[in-house]
């Protein structure tokens, strides 16, 4: 059994979702500390838990890791998910960066002013269906078998989070004071 991690984030997907997925793929059990108030966040800052005063934060192996890419790189390296050579690593990095590009557009959606949401949603749909999904689907057909840990993560009752709703957006804005 893999080591257990503790993740700190809001009660939603956001930048933590790709980390949850990678932990699931690697079979790493994790506890969640959900940020629910500004006071809780400020206490974490005061306690020096977050290098840049931001989440996601993952505690694993006696370390506190921040910055999504650093967290993902550490987990991938620890659980041998970086490919077996430099070419495989570059290919993995291209997929990861593609996911990040699309996620960056999606993650902003619930926080945009109403006047900008429709245009951003159109951008998401265009990029997802024409640029990103075809590439991922081709890779899945070629390489991805249904990994038991992914199947488990997709089941009801897992730690997978639902899409953001108004409550999530309000909570994040209150905690981060914006």
The fraction of the chain above a pLDDT of 90, given in percent, is 51
CATH code of the region 5-176 = 3.40.30.10
What pLDDT was estimated at residue 107? 87
Dig out the tokens for 112 from the structure: 């945009």
What pLDDT was estimated at residue 1? 44
Query: Regarding beta strands 57-60 and 63-66, do their DSSP bridges make them parallel or antiparallel, or are they unpaired?
Result: antiparallel
What pLDDT was estimated at residue 71? 96
Higher pLDDT, 139 or 20: 20
Q: What is the pLDDT of residues 102-155, one digit of tens each?
A: 888 888 888 899 999 999 999 999 998 898 888 887 877 666 765 778 778 878
Integer CA distances (angstroms), 33 to 15, 52, 127, 159, in order = 15, 18, 33, 12
- pLDDT average, residue stretch 161-168: 87
* Beta strands per DSSP E along the chain: 5-9, 30-34, 57-60, 63-66
What pLDDT was estimated at residue 151? 78
What pLDDT was estimated at residue 66? 96
């Amino acid at each position: 059994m893999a080591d257990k991690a503790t993740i700190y984030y809001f009660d939603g997907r956001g930048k933590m979702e790709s980390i949850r997925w990678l932990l699931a793929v690697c079979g790493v059990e994790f506890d969640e500390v959900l940020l629910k108030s500004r006071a809780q966040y400020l206490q974490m800052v005061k306690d020096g838990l977050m290098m840049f005063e931001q989440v996601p934060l993952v505690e694993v192996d006696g370390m506190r890791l921040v910055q999504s890419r650093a967290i993902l790189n550490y987990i991938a390296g620890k659980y041998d998910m970086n490919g077996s050579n430099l070419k495989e690593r570059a290919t993995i990095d291209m997929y990861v960066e593609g996911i990040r590009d699309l996620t960056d557009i999606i993650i902003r959606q619930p926080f945009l002013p109403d006047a900008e949401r429709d245009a951003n949603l159109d951008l998401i749909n265009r990029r997802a269906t024409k640029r990103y999904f075809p590439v991922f689907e081709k890779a899945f057909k070629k390489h991805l078998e249904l990994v038991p840990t992914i199947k488990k993560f997709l089941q009801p009752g897992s730690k997978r989070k639902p899409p953001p709703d108004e409550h999530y957006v309000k909570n994040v804005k209150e905690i981060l004071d914006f």
